Structure 1
């Protein structure tokens, strides 16, 4: 083909933009790190179903051991070598010291996280991984959980709409914990570059922007990005499936890496680690606890039901974080908690939750009661919709304090006053 013909062809068929901009190195990473090696056979089944890539050689994490063939082994592994983290700034105010950190995983953009500790507290402290929700807000990530000198309007909006105005991670730190809140895969600092949207995303975004113009809506940069990211999540899920992983599996990979960072900090007690999350963050909390024996106690808020109850009307309300193809073959959603070595679990249900039918939540509660010995599972039902209310947060923080500050005590006595009747 002559040069003029090539130029004409390029004009007629311009090259399409990358469908995974910012993550072009993602496929090679997954091929090089094929599968996370869990500490038990049951956790390995979940890792395989989600397609969680291995952390071997990432952030100083040593080569992972093979899955034991004998009984399940709940003991946490030794702390890995400290990763090469960057501390960007540190400030103390209102009783807590907040540090902005970042680290580079083996692919994609650099991860931003915040470490929040009680000011002047002597370690080692129990550690909590605070897991942000989906919230339809991928422009931001963990910043919605942290009190910062200057918060982006998207973080303020998320706090107001989903967390009753509270900065969850900062509030947990005020209860005597070292808390790490990080942006996970596809959110915040780890978001995809959609400045030039791929073909399907661009088409859907154009329609949304036309509707905004017709309605007189002045969309912010965050609004535009979140609209594009909502459409683009299908492309991310398709790419993940092609690579033998899943959106939930990639998010779990980032969460496992953050947990290793938290466990390796010098003022954190690696034997007293927990996690907490609301909505999509609650699903992340359950998954992380099932995949890592480091987690001793965890909270799942507004993210518990049976898979059957989502059919046929409620499935459309949920993202690919919950809807990993084939996951049901391992058992129902509440049954996945039996794969965790954690000794304590709190699940909080909102009776008027728009995303889950009440009968599904109550069925899940019954399953959880049958799976876990008395005193290890606590389920509480609250009025209201899909919001992590102040009362629910108080209950959750009491639970974490009772199970990680004083693990020999019973958490029910300290939290039952907040729970409504089931």
Structure 2
């Protein structure tokens, strides 16, 4: 691997969900500059928008949001959930992708005890979506299903390969990704071995669903010529371009009357429908999990689709205040739903699934979030689940280290699935 590529990977790990604009070097420098707590707690705290921060926070974030289940006026859980979900869908600009598409199976095989199917299906726009199905070799009957949601990681060239594997010989940059975020594991394979049918698909704008440079006008190509992505250097160039293209995609989606979260949700729900329809899957026992960008997608899918019996959100749990004042620069446009902070705090999107089982896994030194706001998000979800008389079905753990989903965290996630999808 070239020295430039090593440096890029290192910086991408700090970017986590990627960068909106500017250089990865700028983000790398900023993400290791910590503001003393004494300053953060002072009346004139430093924040991302300076003197406008306190005013912006006062608009909506100093009171319980209007549709929060924590409000005394809400006592009927089902009625509240229906109303709040409808409002979130309205704010997101929900997208209808039509009927479940035909699935094409391209290759089948066995890798390290896991039977796999490499499949694809065509959605209404873009290139066909590639996906992989994983389950224990020689398994019989119907098994619980898990939708594995891959991360962002500053890399849109990759999608499902970030968390799954079907062969021994894989590129070094994929191995590096596994080591950096997952302690060397393709975690989707690991959980499949335990008795699940796992589906991993390329998310919108990643992997097979990525935006192709040759499909865009020359005015936004940044002087990059069309090329096939054959080398790590070319992939690095593409990922930098794709990072800088995110603000264009977000603004274009806003102009279409929708949002990036809505498109994520629609495509993940379609994948869930494909998984649930399989003859080897028990559609009453469906789960989802993911790190970082996959954690965001878990919040959306787990909170808004009642088919998800068990959800595990990893490395993406905080408050709107954290994003407003401290950490928006460490995230992409994929996270935001206009106006919604007036009605629900960010963790309450996931809380819409109460009383269904929910696990949140955080990293104490996660550079993408503020620890105190991760803790506040945990308390919000605890309050929601307590009011729903389901405290035993919610758990949040804080693990040492930076942004990751390592073996210890994977073990906790797998045990949660064992309890609530198999138990």
TM over 0.5: yes
Match of 1:155 in 2: 174
Q: Which has the higher contact order (CA 8 A, sep 6+)?
A: 2
CA RMSD, Structure 1 to Structure 2 (Å)? 1.9
Match of 1:395 in 2: 412
Residue 341 (structure 1) shift? 5.5
1:127 aligns with 2:169: no
CA distance in 2, matches of 1:358, 1:190: 33
Please report the TM-score for the alignment, with normalisation by the length of structure 1. 0.75
* Alignment check: 8 A CA contact 1:117 1:173 kept: yes
Residue 342 (structure 1) shift? 6.0
1:250 aligns with 2:267: no
Picking from 377, 383, 394, the partner of 2:394 is 377
Match of 1:50 in 2: 92
Please report the TM-score for the alignment, with normalisation by the length of structure 2. 0.75
Residue 204 (structure 1) shift? 8.5
Give the count of matched residue pairs: 333
Residue 152 (structure 1) shift? 3.7
Task: Report the more deviating stretch, 126-135 or 245-254.
Answer: 245-254
Counterparts of residues 15-414 of structure 1 (less than 5 Å): 40-56=82-98, 58-59=99-100, 83-149=101-167, 150-195=169-214, 198=217, 201-203=220-222, 220-340=233-353, 343-372=356-385, 373-406=390-423
Q: Deviations over 1:2-51 (max 9, x none)?
A: xxxxxxxxxxxxxxxxxxxxxxxxxxxxxxxxxxxxx9332222222211
CA distance in 2, matches of 1:320, 1:154: 25
CA distance in 2, matches of 1:364, 1:200: 42
Residue 249 (structure 1) shift? 1.0
Match of 1:3 in 2: none
Q: Deviations over 1:71-117 (max 9, x none)?
A: xxxxxxxxxxxx42100001113211011010001111100000000
CA distance in 2, matches of 1:136, 1:148: 23
* Alignment check: 8 A CA contact 1:279 1:303 kept: yes
Q: Deviations over 1:351-396 (max 9, x none)?
A: 1000001100111111111111220110101110101111001111
SS of 1:162's partner is helix
- 1:173–1:360 Cα change, 3 Å: same
CA distance in 1, matches of 2:326, 2:234: 32
Residue 310 (structure 1) shift? 2.6
Structure 2 unpaired stretches of 5+: 1-80, 226-230
- 1:232–1:118 Cα change, 3 Å: same
SS of 1:192's partner is coil
CA distance in 1, matches of 2:301, 2:148: 11
SS of 2:306's partner is coil
- 1:204–1:318 Cα change, 3 Å: farther
- 1:87–1:199 Cα change, 3 Å: same
* Alignment check: 8 A CA contact 1:101 1:113 kept: yes
* Alignment check: 8 A CA contact 1:298 1:342 kept: no
Larger of the two Rg values belongs to structure: 1
* Alignment check: 8 A CA contact 2:311 2:359 kept: yes
* Alignment check: 8 A CA contact 1:299 1:347 kept: yes
SS of 1:355's partner is coil
CA distance in 1, matches of 2:219, 2:408: 42
* Alignment check: 8 A CA contact 2:151 2:295 kept: yes
CA distance in 1, matches of 2:262, 2:140: 36
Task: Report the more deviating stretch, 243-252 or 126-135.
Answer: 243-252
* Alignment check: 8 A CA contact 1:296 1:342 kept: no
